[in-house]
């Protein structure tokens, strides 16, 4: 009897150990934290040096609530963070093509990265002479413009309102540019300012008639680059 009495507790103790091990394993499996799957349907809309990105939550949160999302721009290192499913990235370079990806973050860390969004190109709003800041014509600008027309035998000249329009060098740099109109349509224009210019202005000039066209008025663009003074870089009948 004594032998049987001491064996039974040993068997029970062994079974209890197995049961406890199973319970612990189930608890660990149930509470395991995993990463979220990739966010879905990423879509971008371009703005002026910015883009607004929207998306849908991932199909799996990884067993934990999603804390926030991180959106990254490509190319570059710009990003934004959002608790919901949209955010806007500022400071992008206009006239550059971007795509965007989204990652969901939970307590397990970063989830899978989404597929890239559609491509978008941020554009500046279209501007014109009425939008550009003005200032009194400087003596150097007046001298260069006067000499420009004197060599063409079209002097004397008058600079309208004795004002010069201050140009945005990047927006007016050499090459074809695009901008967004108030109605959302896109317009193109050709810039004439050297990319390395430190400043640029435009003046509206009245002069003697050109022999062939008979034109008596022009818009003249001037720029200054490192190591040089003001120089006429473009002349046209319109801004």
pLDDT for residue 32 = 58
* CATH classification number, 40-113, choose in 2.60.40.10, 1.10.3720.10, 1.10.287.3510, 3.30.70.260: 2.60.40.10
In sequence order, which residues have a C-beta less than 8 Å from that of residue 75 and are 6 or more positions away? 96, 98
Rounded mean pLDDT, 17-43? 63
In sequence order, which residues have a C-beta less than 8 Å from that of residue 81 and are 6 or more positions away? 68, 69, 70, 71, 87
pTM summary value: 0.72
Give me the residue spans of the domains in the chain: 40-113, 134-236
pLDDT band at 33 (very low <50, low <70, confident <90, very high): low
Who wins on pLDDT, 34 or 169? 169
pLDDT for residue 14 = 52
Mean pLDDT of the chain: 88
pLDDT band at 229 (very low <50, low <70, confident <90, very high): very high
Burial of 116 (0-12, 13-18, 19+ CB in 10 A): middle
Who wins on pLDDT, 66 or 14? 66
157-212 per-position pLDDT tens digit: 999 999 999 999 999 999 999 999 999 899 999 999 999 999 999 999 999 999 99
72-120 per-position pLDDT tens digit: 999 999 999 999 999 999 999 999 999 999 999 999 999 999 999 999 9
């Amino acid at each position: 009897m004594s032998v049987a009495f001491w064996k039974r507790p040993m068997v029970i103790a062994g079974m209890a150990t197995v049961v406890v091990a199973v319970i612990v394993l189930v608890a660990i499996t149930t509470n395991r934290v995993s990463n979220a799957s990739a966010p879905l349907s990423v879509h971008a809309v371009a703005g002026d040096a910015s883009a607004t990105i929207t998306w849908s939550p991932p199909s799996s949160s990884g067993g934990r609530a999603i804390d926030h999302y991180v959106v990254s721009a490509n190319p570059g290192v710009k990003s934004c963070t959002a608790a919901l499913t949209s955010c806007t990235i500022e400071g992008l370079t206009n006239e550059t093509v971007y795509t965007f990806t989204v990652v969901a973050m939970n307590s397990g860390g970063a989830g899978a990265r989404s597929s890239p969004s559609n491509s978008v190109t941020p554009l500046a709003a279209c501007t014109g002479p009425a939008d550009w800041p003005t200032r009194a014509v400087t003596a150097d600008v007046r001298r260069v413009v006067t000499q420009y027309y004197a060599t063409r035998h079209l002097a004397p000249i008058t600079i309208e309102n004795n004002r010069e329009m201050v140009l945005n060098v990047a927006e007016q740099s050499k090459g074809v540019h695009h901008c967004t109109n108030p109605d959302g349509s896109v317009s193109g224009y050709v810039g004439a300012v050297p990319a390395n210019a430190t400043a640029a202005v435009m003046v509206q000039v009245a002069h003697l008639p050109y022999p062939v066209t008979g034109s008596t008025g022009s818009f003249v663009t001037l720029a200054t680059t490192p190591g040089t003074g003001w120089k006429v870089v473009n002349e046209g009948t319109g801004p």
